[in-house]
Structure 1
């Protein structure tokens, strides 16, 4: 965990904002020297983490590093805060009253001197501790080189493979198909088929089943198996292919076994000789190569290897197994074969095979019954089934089986080739910035539906997302992190709705997150009474847990959250304790709480970046002191239905980027909103008295959400010149067809969601003004909608089109086929339109058959192969 804190600090110190501010305050050199020492420490932390369990002194050394880094976080936090206060004073006209009110120190020289002293003191401590690294023999380790995969081989006992018959046949059928892109010359003579899945899913086992299938012997003259793993060394791979090709030829040859004498030692040949020998083996041969366990994401290396081996006869095939969707798309010529989990029946069969000697299970029906419950936690992953089954082999004590059933996977003992070590290989392969983001999944319960907004806000609040050039928005960077986690198979069941991205985390990946996060990320429930003092992030999942005096007195706590809807804080006394105790909090989630007021002391949380008060339906007022939280980036007040008005001084929240409002106000203070120059997401929920928003421009707003604002009548879009996302739901009186504001031609909208308009017959004409940029269009629950706008030929960006619960809509436009960028089409709750769009039989099918993903109604769907 020390590595994560160090990396976060390095990211901050390298950012454009810090460099500029440190120069302004005259502490640039001090911070630079501190950063240099941090960089040295960072290089050996991976080695220290690996060795700490064997050396008690090393654990203490890591704790010292962590304590120093926590103190450094606090100092840098004060530095950021002072910079924000300076900006607010400048924007406020710098009157003496405001200076006294906002400035923690009226003497900038004294602040600079104090800051330099603190940085020097922390740097001295870090220098002293860092020097001790030599005592432990620590070395700098590249995490990518630390990953060691298990060598694989093609041999397999067919009787030991359970539940993959259908998958084997599907892959064999793919291998028997011609190249999907036509001719049989050049680089199209060889087709690459990727098999993708998380660690332990059985990709290698499936590849073995296919490799040894008798149909392959008839189809391919040569079959070669190459275990690649993390070291994508072209020379080593060539040697493996040559040796495997020779062995394949000798095995299939009718010559006597003395033919093995033809095997030679080629390890000493240079690369030119090896390439020549490779071409001799493969030229003109129709071959099958399995590249098992590929981790390389360097496209240049792959293309180099591909160019060397594409000398075979037309119809040659390559099977690639990998955990990465990105690698699969980079290498594959066809869509990836996404390997799913085993069925419950097959899981139980596999479990019984590993837990009992043959036939022994019949003597222990009570254990088999418990076994059925145990395999549920494996979520269909064969290696997890094998891990738990083998751990119970020859153990007939019911209590031991119940312990395995009731324990989290990460608490169970694991051998080197068991499921958690297998999954940890994927974790170790990730860059450090992604690993520290992954830890936060441990704060949420299993089966939780994540959305990109919450996770991105969480990461940004803790400084895990830094823009090095000062221009790229942290939300954009965080979204890329989520895409990368998906590519690496760490998230699944992804739904991309344009501006919102929902996903889930496999139970075993969740166990991995718990395992690697350990004592720094703690989930608090009624069973957890032991919160370690070094905890940094607390997640409370049961109301009953709040009755215990569990919370440590620690300056390290940075997050408190309630991740389950309906579970919130009921005791204001506990909140008072948190405010006084955890003054360096960055993230405070008080959603679904049920107290009537927020204490004025909330202003003491000067480092707070995220405050969620959603669905607090008793709060009538908020203290104006909340507007002293100058670091606050996200303020969520949605669902605070009793809130009379917004706090005065809202415009002082100069760091605010996302604001969700529920209020009884009929008129909003424009001047306050106009001062929020960094505000990019603005949402109004259940604002029953609000008739209009603003008349003047809010140039920073990029996303606007309006939900259940029943009195809202007008929406002048021209006041939001940078608007990219517009979501409107259940705003009965809002007349979308009447918008005479100009100039509408400036609309650059990317995502448009229109739902629950009971009287809308046609879509507003101003949509046409966004046709050049629109990527997502969702129309839902429009019972009177009869016609769609005619999509012009310039609409080349539309990727997602969702039409749901529009029963009067009978037809698509005749030029739907011109939407060449469309990747995802979903139509449901439109009976006649659904009938016309049915695969193969529907009259509109020829217009939409080219789309990658088409889902029509609840019973049918089409996915491009």
Structure 2
């Protein structure tokens, strides 16, 4: 994953440099020279990245080189972002910045920062020669994920349950071995575990080696935790496996039913859930393995209730046991037992929630380095998401964060330094008004306020967010009206809720120039004075709208009949491509 991030980062930086050269900016003197040098260096690095990606797993030095390059690229991205943010903050084009009082001072400061970053990148780029990285290497070889490699060495005493399934599988193999002349393939859906790596990468030598090892021999092969759904790959492997002697068999374990159906030559076996006794034994093995908490009758009672909620899924039981093995307080166990994650209907989502609850409540986020993304929410129902005593202060110090997902209200101070923020989500926050400092987030592209059920007012300066593309107001039922000048957000494409106000700058005509897409719900149409005002919304030209809601209700006042509601409705005629129309309180 790291190498893919590096490739994406390098591409992003080259695009940013191209953008700087294309825009109306006078990049004179040393600043222009440094940026051109950076562009040349990153172009060279990009040419050898494919080779580095292929060799990363086998060469620790190359792995470290990619790590250094990644960090340097992030730091340079911050420098370029600072440059563009500061410049654009004073006008619509970068060129206007240089008409300020100190353009020479600005260029000098930027040139020094870019030079420092360029020297660091140059040093990293020079190391490619020592690492023998080549340019123009062909398609990368797909490597296995080392974290998913399994082993045939299993402590049998630690295996709990599955005795009946094991006996049934052995009986099937022995029975078919006497009656089957070809290769028998048995698939087990819901397991994972055994694998073997090989240094040979090319297909033909691998097949020939496998045939040489199997020819004429009666063998039992286990292919564990298979994920590939490619029938072509399986057919090529099966050709080699069929060189085994009469009665040979292959056991496949997989979590995917599609894989089991594709590979099996006899009906596959689907593993069921563990019994109550086996579930409790597995949980005890994990949570009381070192003798911790053992003998505490209260914890055992709560533990049995937690195990029941795991519904016999080994992965969930093991995860919960690992979490609780380090907790000795009854309240901590009760928090887990009473968590909302158990209410999730989908089993996959429930297991993911359980696993997620385990990298929680143990990380001191104040010790982390500067972050690019920070997601702190309570979607999984635990009462504490982190060890932050002052979240506003902590988030305010993350000045280079691009993505912020937070469910509690934040102070004005928290947003003032987040000038690089692109995505802000305050899902389900109980705030009535947002901090006005959100209006200074000039790079913000997405503002997600979904289910902020108490929200009444948006920031007055929202019109300053010139890069805003997506404003999600679903579930914001208490919203009184929109801030003045929303129509100035010419980049806005998704606006699912608009509440018409009475004052100038809050009217329905603010929608006129917005090229909106998808879903739009317009409320407060009782505040539209006449059909001319309604026609100015220009709904007839919004060909990318698919769903439209029209409501004459307003939080500010009850609907008073103007006598022209029918004319207003006529003037709100949408484009013929509309798929869904909903009219309420008309």
TM-score under structure 2 length normalisation: 0.63
Compute the displacement of 1:639 (Å). 3.6
Counterpart of 1:611 (choices 444, 447, 454) is: 447
Which residue does the alignment assign to 2:471? 635
Distance in 1 (CA, whole Å) between partners of 2:331 and 2:312 is 15
Distance 1:391 1:655, change over 3 A: closer
Which residue does the alignment assign to 1:147? 146
Are residue 106 (structure 1) and residue 131 (structure 2) matched? no
Counterpart of 1:562 (choices 377, 390, 406) is: 406
Unmatched 5+ residue regions in structure 1? Answer: 53-57, 86-99, 179-184, 205-225, 239-269, 393-398, 408-443, 451-491, 495-502, 523-529, 735-865
Equivalent position SS for 1:303 = helix
Distance 1:642 1:296, change over 3 A: closer
Counterpart of 2:80 (choices 68, 75, 84) is: 75
Contact 2:399 2:418 survives alignment (8 Å): yes
Which residue does the alignment assign to 2:32? none
Distance 1:291 1:72, change over 3 A: same
Compute the displacement of 1:732 (Å). 5.3
Which residue does the alignment assign to 2:483? 647
Contact 1:588 1:610 survives alignment (8 Å): yes
Which residue does the alignment assign to 2:352? 506
Distance in 2 (CA, whole Å) between partners of 1:237 and 1:349 is 42
Contact 1:152 1:227 survives alignment (8 Å): yes
**1:13-32 equivalence runs, <5 A:** 13=13, 21=19, 24-25=22-23, 30-31=38-39
Compute the displacement of 1:518 (Å). 6.4
Which residue does the alignment assign to 1:861? none
CA shift digits 1:163-197 (9 cap, x unpaired): 3367669979999999xxxxxx99xx877564444
Which residue does the alignment assign to 1:590? 426
Which residue does the alignment assign to 1:704? 547
CA shift digits 1:806-829 (9 cap, x unpaired): xxxxxxxxxxxxxxxxxxxxxxxx
Compute the displacement of 1:635 (Å). 0.8
Contact 2:91 2:97 survives alignment (8 Å): no
Compute the displacement of 1:661 (Å). 0.8
CA shift digits 1:246-282 (9 cap, x unpaired): xxxxxxxxxxxxxxxxxxxxxxxx65xx647856457
**1:182-581 equivalence runs, <5 A:** 194-197=187-190, 202-204=191-193, 227-228=195-196, 271=209, 275=211, 278=214, 280-281=216-217, 290-294=222-226, 300-309=232-241, 318-322=250-254, 331=263, 339=271, 341-352=273-284, 368-369=300-301, 372=304, 380=312, 382=314, 402=328, 406=332, 493=347, 503=349, 506-507=352-353, 509-510=355-356, 522=365, 530=366, 532=368, 534-536=370-372, 537-539=374-376, 541=378, 550-551=393-394, 553-563=397-407, 568-569=408-409, 574-581=410-417
Distance in 2 (CA, whole Å) between partners of 1:590 and 1:369 is 38
Equivalent position SS for 2:78 = helix
Distance in 2 (CA, whole Å) between partners of 1:34 and 1:138 is 17
Distance 1:69 1:40, change over 3 A: farther
RMSD (Å) for aligned C-alpha atoms: 6.3
Which residue does the alignment assign to 2:120? 126
Which residue does the alignment assign to 1:33? 41
Distance in 2 (CA, whole Å) between partners of 1:47 and 1:404 is 46
Distance in 1 (CA, whole Å) between partners of 2:446 and 2:329 is 39
Unmatched 5+ residue regions in structure 2? Answer: 26-34, 135-139, 334-338, 529-533, 554-558, 560-564
Equivalent position SS for 1:588 = strand
CA shift digits 1:325-364 (9 cap, x unpaired): 776576568998665653443221234467889xxx9988
Distance in 2 (CA, whole Å) between partners of 1:660 and 1:504 is 30
Which residue does the alignment assign to 2:12? 12
Distance 1:237 1:387, change over 3 A: farther
Contact 1:388 1:404 survives alignment (8 Å): no
Q: How many correspondences in the alignment?
A: 521
Equivalent position SS for 1:611 = strand
Distance in 1 (CA, whole Å) between partners of 2:580 and 2:525 is 17
Contact 2:288 2:294 survives alignment (8 Å): no
Equivalent position SS for 2:444 = coil
Contact 2:482 2:500 survives alignment (8 Å): no
Contact 1:229 1:293 survives alignment (8 Å): no
Distance 1:653 1:362, change over 3 A: closer
Counterpart of 1:66 (choices 71, 80, 85) is: 71
Equivalent position SS for 1:106 = helix
Which residue does the alignment assign to 1:164? 162
Distance 1:175 1:672, change over 3 A: farther
Equivalent position SS for 1:150 = coil
Compute the displacement of 1:322 (Å). 3.4
Which residue does the alignment assign to 1:684? 521
Distance in 1 (CA, whole Å) between partners of 2:46 and 2:67 is 13
Contact 1:632 1:655 survives alignment (8 Å): yes
Contact 2:439 2:459 survives alignment (8 Å): no
Distance 1:611 1:277, change over 3 A: closer
**1:760-779 equivalence runs, <5 A:** none
Out of 298-307 and 506-515, give the one that drifted further.
506-515
Equivalent position SS for 1:130 = helix
Compute the displacement of 1:605 (Å). 0.9
Compute the displacement of 1:651 (Å). 4.0
Contact 1:643 1:664 survives alignment (8 Å): no
Distance in 2 (CA, whole Å) between partners of 1:592 and 1:71 is 35
Distance 1:512 1:354, change over 3 A: closer
Contact 2:342 2:350 survives alignment (8 Å): yes
Distance in 2 (CA, whole Å) between partners of 1:120 and 1:313 is 67
Which residue does the alignment assign to 2:562? none
Distance in 1 (CA, whole Å) between partners of 2:264 and 2:17 is 43
CA shift digits 1:710-768 (9 cap, x unpaired): 799979997163x6xx5677x5579xxxxxxxxxxxxxxxxxxxxxxxxxxxxxxxxxx
TM-score under structure 1 length normalisation: 0.46
Distance in 2 (CA, whole Å) between partners of 1:29 and 1:127 is 10
Distance in 1 (CA, whole Å) between partners of 2:302 and 2:550 is 48
Distance 1:558 1:311, change over 3 A: same
Distance 1:689 1:385, change over 3 A: same
